[in-house]
Amino acid sequence: MKSFSKVDTQIFLIENDQQDTSQTYDQDEYDNIIPVQFVRDYYDYNKPHGQIKQNTETTWRLITCMFGVIICKLGDHEIEISRENKKQLMIGPAIKFEYYNKSGKSVCHVRSSA
């Protein structure tokens, strides 16, 4: 992890180093944002362009776009994450969000806490 910033209450934007190989999670580093124990993960494969998905989990989530480009909408905030920009979002239990597939295909990876 290169850096992180607080976007809003329970919304953190994480920026990672621009390298060919990227680490998607390191508990020691990410505990500096908020100490959370992630217990499960899954991914959504999105096709076609413009497909909208919602996430209403009531846990902490770490969102990574593994392929393509997605636009995440969190209240008044709209944030683009992609494989290329290597940004991630950590969002809290009180945050509902939706995202849409900006590219032709995308893969959104989600880690969830207990």
- CATH number at 72 reads 2.60.120.10
CA gap 96, 74 in Å, rounded: 7
Give the structural domain span for 78.
3-113
Identify the residue whose tokens are 């944030």. 79
CA gap 87, 78 in Å, rounded: 13
Q: Are 65 and 108 in contact (CB under 8 A)?
A: yes
Q: How many domains does the chain have?
A: 1
> Is residue 29 classed as helix, strand or coil in its secondary structure?
helix
Query: Tell me, what's the pLDDT at 48?
Result: 82
Q: Is the pTM of this model over 0.85?
A: yes
Tens-digit pLDDT profile for residues 89-100: 999 998 989 999
User: Which residues, in sequence order, are CB contacts of 31 under 8 Å at separation 6+?
Assistant: none
